[in-house]
Structure 1
Amino acid sequence: MRTIKPLGTLIFSIAVALAGGLHAQTLVTNIKGYSFHHDSPARFSAVSFQDDKITGVYQTVPDNKQFAQIIDGKGATLVPGMIDAHGHVLGYGQALNRVVLNGATSKDEALERVAQFIAGHKDNKWIRGRGWNQELWPDRAFPDAEALSKISSGKLVALGRIDGHALWVNQEVLQLAGINKDTPSPEGGEIIKDAQGNPTGILIDNAMNLVYSLIPEPGIAEVKQDLLTSLNKLASLGLTSVHDAGIDYLTWQAYQELSLEGKLPIRVYVMLDVTDRNYAKMLQKGHIYSEDGKLVIRSVKISSDGALGSRGAALHEEYSDKPGHFGLLLHDIPNLNKLTLQAMQAEFQVNTHAIGDKANTVSLDAFAQAIKQTQSQELRHRIEHAQVIHPDDFKRFQAFNIIASVQPTHATSDKNMAEDRLGSERIKGAYAWQRLLSNNALLAGGSDFPIEPAEPLFGIHAAVTRQDRHNQPEGGWYATEGVSLHQAFHMFTLGAAYAAHQENSIGSIEPGKKADFVLLQKDPLAIAPEQLWKIPVLQTWVNGELVWQK
């Protein structure tokens, strides 16, 4: 691993590709090809590549004799490798190996899943999991520690909410952590208590650290295995690149070891977590680029608030369904400004998590101040989520070249509670992708896995239809904020590539770019929009190599 200059220009890439001659090229033919780098999809019927670069894109099929290898696409649809601009790779790998509570429709169902996992893991002292969402349950109430203790056989149980901003623990964990009716909530967090003042077993945002600090940390071998489990699964979903939204020092080391060992199946664009105790050490090492282009570390992740579902998102006005509650800023404003400026001075892109409208405002304020001091607009700083935006803030994205990194499936997952939280007026500025576009903001698409499913076609479907995968609500939820199919694919290809300074190498099918592409069983431009999420992925290619096939 070494620090090098960014990838070369497109012109240089083309020159290298052409210099190699035609004899070693591979041709993929008998396909419907689409790329999303113009105002409308560019269409083609064949594409050639040599080594790791695309050498030709053809409207009509060229003479096969020019190519050393011919791949018959058998009528499949070829699109650029899809990119998830916001996910949590380690968390996804861990989720695949822990209690999975996603989709549980009641507290009892969640408890049954935990009980089954405990029965099969009797040697585990700690039982970890995530994915519960009380908004899917009949009473929509937070669960409690007592119910968890009844089925946990004395083990220590800690279960993350689907958004990662709340933790459900049992009585044993509360006792171990010393959390009782006299324990104050930490700054930027909340220990939820009942009417008698006793902790219920739900910890919000920074209060989760009271438990996380007690859980034994994994070793680097375990982290590497979880990363590989995650990345290989992501490849199977049609992702050729992912932006990892906030990593610690051990994961930073693990990525570099995997890269040196040549084991990364897809590309990873890394954000350093500013709260990690070794953050300064990582920042001091500067930008990191792997030789094969699969690992890039040049950005940081700051979280300014919590999530809407747990009422941790910071709002200017009180929650419509909880008078007197405004959510939580995870950093006071002076510290947020300091962290933002520090990263920009180190020439790192700053990607700030902001869900509530107040969090978006203070994050944009921090950007404005720090950019004025550092003149770092060209670093393409980002707001991650940009979920609830004050009317006055939409125009500020373009003013400072701030990218809105959004996750379309959040809208279709949150639709059953978002308006309760925000009311009928504020909801008009929430999940407002078309309004961002009309204010000339640049959008990158992601999923926030494992909070949401990692399938990029799920996100593309949600962006276009504003419906969940049960086609609800009819006509789409605030459908005017949906985007076109071309815009949706652009968000998950070239838009996400641009958000990582990689638009000259990936994100579209063009000569000179990396041979990252995906074969789909069905043509997304030829089916009903509500069917988009059902399209099977057949093959995933990265750097001209087949990394997964059905």
Structure 2
Amino acid sequence: MKKTGFILLTVTLLFSACTQEDNAFVMHNINGYTLSGGDLVQFDAIAVKDGRVVETGAATALQEQFSDYEQINGAGQTMLPGLIDAHTHVMNLGFQELDVNVQGIDSLDETLEKIRQYAEDNPDLEWILGRGWNQVLWEENEFPTAEDLDRIVPDRPVFLRRVDGHAAWANSKAMELAGIDDDTPDLQGGVIRRDENGKATGIFIDTAMGYIGSEIPPRTAAEKRRAFELALEKMARHGLTSVHDARTNNETWEMYKEYADNGTLITRIYVMAAGTGDEFDVMAAKGPIKSYADDMLSMRSVKISADGALGSRGAALLEDYHDDPGNKGLLFFDQEDLNAMLLKGASAGFQMNIHAIGDAANRQVLDGFEYINNELDGQADLRHRVEHAQIVALDDIPRFVDLNLIASMQPTHATSDMNMAEDRVGPDRIRGAYAWQTFLDQGTVIAAGSDFPVEDVNPFYGLYSAVTRQDHEGMPPGGWYSEQRMSRIETIRAFTIDAAYSAHQEEVLGTLEPGKWADFILIDRDFFEVEASQIWQTEVNETWVAGKRVFQKQ
């Protein structure tokens, strides 16, 4: 059923952010933490003026020094720098609230029932859209079929993306509208799953999703605004003060700028342009935009995907899938084409952020970065990134240092995938999988994120996964491949200053140091002292961006 309560709350938050005047204040009686260099620094007061940090330190000293500032009692709450999610899909988060969301459902029957109820509650929808299904959670552990959907929605097209966004499930009506038959060919980087008789089953992997996706009517402007405001509300509520938006088109970029211009953008967004095609040509016409509206927006990077995902067996592997002999997954491009895209973006001064899940895709991407390093000798440091760096051949991990690359990794991917990852790649290749500590030990910067809505928007789920490598029930005991766990300081770094560094923003964001924007959160427990098992239960009481409160828990 469509939701309206969030929109009312969002409007209230946006109005509050819009009308709250800039001021100078000292917030005291807080349990504050920030990083400075490599050290963790504690303080019990912070002075803020014109949206920026003036000083942190002892409450008595700051209250005396800044006696003309407004004095705000923090009620003993723990303060952290605003959290930064370095890999997200902002609009998809909002659309998840509008469409049918079947994420986390652990049976096919319950998934179908939720879809049926949504279709019944929304009789006027031309298409039934949604995402979140995950066959690995079901007892059958098999891909569903069009016939499953036909039983509950035979008269309207249904198109549901898998939880990872790299596969989709369609009913027969959708396939009919797209002209899918037994002779429809697979595509470069995409597969139509077929049964033993060659009949399309209703599952489309990666680029093959475009067959049906191209038939779906575009979202209306009103739907896009509604989705964006829902996303803004959710991000603020969970303590995200800045996010990196992977694959943004020009229309969305213009909408973001409009919100920034009128003061209703309450989360900073670092935009990755969607590829190096026509959209990029339009967006990049004026070159990289390093800062827009007092650092609320930035657009100086490009997102390209080299392969699919592990759960749908679309991730490109050097050797066969351990649990699917004969299948090595899917590379989206040949090396020459990928090199050309990397060269085009980097030559224009854009950071290149390339999705690579499987070890074959990671190797291809590393080869591509080596190519542009040679072609653009002496080029300024653009801090290129590998998004996910999920399964990497052990011999390739040191190349991240040689090529000066950032590993943009998502801790919850490890704990979500641990029920199937080793099945997919086997006991040898798993040693280079989700290998956070291996990367950190060699000096590679990790920019942490969630990939929401693939994973939950709540960053404390990621903080918990990084520290424990366990699910929320504390399994497995001691953590999954626990030698790859991150310390709490390493984890906070990855979600704050190192995420800021990965966006060229470490001089203005990521810590609560003098001169930086006063982006911070107040939470209900001490991240550095609480039992590790409780980290994921942390709740955000308040979120502040540039010295303005944009969320307060009711």
TM-score, reference length from structure 2: 0.93
| Structure 2 counterparts to residues 215-294 of structure 1, below 5 A | 215-274=216-275, 277-288=278-289, 289-294=291-296
Aligned to 1:103: 104
Residue in structure 1 matched with residue 402 of structure 2 by the alignment: 399
Deviation at 1:260, TM superposition (A): 1.9
1:430 & 1:541 partners in 2: Cα distance?
Answer: 36
- 2:137 maps to a residue whose letter is L
Distance 1:227 1:63 in 2: 39
Matches within 5 A, 1:123-522: 123-274=124-275, 277-288=278-289, 289-374=291-376, 375-376=378-379, 378-522=381-525
CA distance in 2, matches of 1:326, 1:493: 36
Are the aligned partners of 2:276 and 2:345 in contact in 1 as well (CA < 8 Å)?
no
| Deviations 1:277-311 (CA, angstroms, capped at 9, x unpaired) | 42222122322231221011110001000000000
Q: Structure 2 CA distance, aligned partners of 1:503 and 1:79? A: 16
Does structure 2 conserve the Cα–Cα contact (< 8 Å) formed by 1:220 and 1:251?
no
CA distance in structure 1 between the partners assigned to 2:250 and 2:152 by the alignment: 35
Matched-pair contact (CA < 8 Å) for 2:353–2:384? yes
**Residue-by-residue CA offset, 1:217-276 (whole Å, 9 max, x unaligned):** 123343233122102210100000000011122212211222222221110000001166
The answer to which of 367-376 and 120-129 deviates more is 367-376
- C-alpha distance in 2 between matches for 1:249 and 1:276: 12
| 8 A Cα contact 2:466 2:486, kept in partner | yes
Secondary structure of 1:79's partner? strand
1:427, 1:371 → 2: CA distance?
29
Moved more, 65-74 or 493-502: 65-74
Provide the secondary structure at the position in 1 that maps to 2:381.
Answer: helix
1:118 aligns with 2:136: no
1:220 touches 1:254 (CA, 8 Å); kept in 2? no
**2-structure distance, mates of 1:39, 1:163:** 34
| Residues 276 and 470 of structure 1: CA distance in aligned 2, closer, same or farther (over 3 Å) | farther
1:89 shift after superposition: 0.1
- The Cα offsets for residues 112-139 of structure 1, whole Å up to 9 and x where unpaired, read as 1101111111000101100110000001
2: CA distance between counterparts of 1:150 and 1:410?
33
Q: What residue number does 1:83 align with?
A: 84
- SS of 1:362's partner is helix
3-state secondary structure, aligned to 2:230: helix
Distance 1:135 1:525 in 2: 34
Report if the CA contact (8 A) 1:224-1:255 is conserved. Answer: no
Kept in 1: contact 2:154–2:172 (CA 8 A): no
Judge conservation of contact 1:377–1:401 (CA < 8 Å) in 2: no
Shift of 1:341: 0.5
Name the counterpart of 2:3: none
Q: 1:412, 1:466 within 8 Å by CA — same for their partners in 2?
A: yes
What is the identity, as a one-letter code, of the residue corresponding to 2:206? Answer: D
- What is the one-letter code of the residue matched to 1:311? R
Measured in 2, the distance between the counterparts of 1:397 and 1:492 equals 20
Shift of 1:321: 0.5
Distance 1:63 1:43, change over 3 A: closer
Percent pairwise identity? 45
Q: How far 1:63 moved relative to its partner?
A: 5.5
TM-score (norm 1): 0.94
Aligned twin of 1:64: 63
Residue equivalent to 1:48: 47
Once the two structures are TM-superposed, the CA of residue 39 in structure 1 deviates from its matched residue by 3.0
Q: Is the 8 A contact 1:45 1:61 kept in 2?
A: no
Q: What's the CA shift string for 1:389-420, capped at 9, x where partnerless?
A: 11111111111210000000000000010000
Whether 1:542 and 2:540 are equivalent positions in the alignment is no
Instruction: Output the aligned Cα RMSD.
Output: 1.4
Superposed CA deviations along residues 90-117 of structure 1, whole A, max 9, x for unmatched, are: 0000001110111110111110110111
Partner of 1:39: 38
Query: 2: distance between equivalents of 1:384 and 1:24?
Result: 38
Q: Report the alpha carbon displacement of residue 64 of structure 1 after superposing the two structures with TM.
A: 2.9
Distance 1:309 1:377, change over 3 A: farther
Alpha-carbon distance between aligned partners in 2 of 1:267 and 1:538, rounded to the nearest angstrom: 19
Report the CA distance between 1:205 and its aligned residue.
Answer: 0.2
The one-letter amino acid paired with 1:323 is P
Q: Distance in 2 between matches of 1:163 and 1:468?
A: 18
* Residues 1:63 and 1:355: Cα distance change in structure 2 (over 3 Å): closer
**Contact 2:276-2:341 at 8 Å conserved across structures:** no
**How far off its partner does 1:183 sit?**
1.1
List per-residue Cα deviations over 1:353-381 (Å, max 9, x = no partner): 00001111110111111122223351100
Partners in 1 of 2:248 and 2:266 — Cα distance?
19
Structure 1 unaligned blocks of 5 or more: 1-22
* Alpha-carbon offset, residue 68 of structure 1: 2.4
The one-letter amino acid of 1:195's match is: E
Can you list the C-alpha shifts for 1:14-53, whole angstroms capped at 9, x where unaligned? xxxxxxxxx9630011011111333342111111100110
Aligned length: 528
CA distance in 2, matches of 1:154, 1:376: 56
The separation in 1 between residues aligned to 2:352 and 2:334, in whole angstroms, is: 17
Equivalent position amino acid for 1:113 in 2? K
What is the distance in 2 between the residues matched to 1:278 and 1:526?
A: 47
Instruction: For residues 442-472 of structure 1, give each alpha carbon's deviation from its aligned partner in whole angstroms, at most 9, with x where no partner exists.
Output: 1000000000001111101000100011111
Give yes or no for contact 2:261–2:293 (8 Å, CA) kept in 1. no
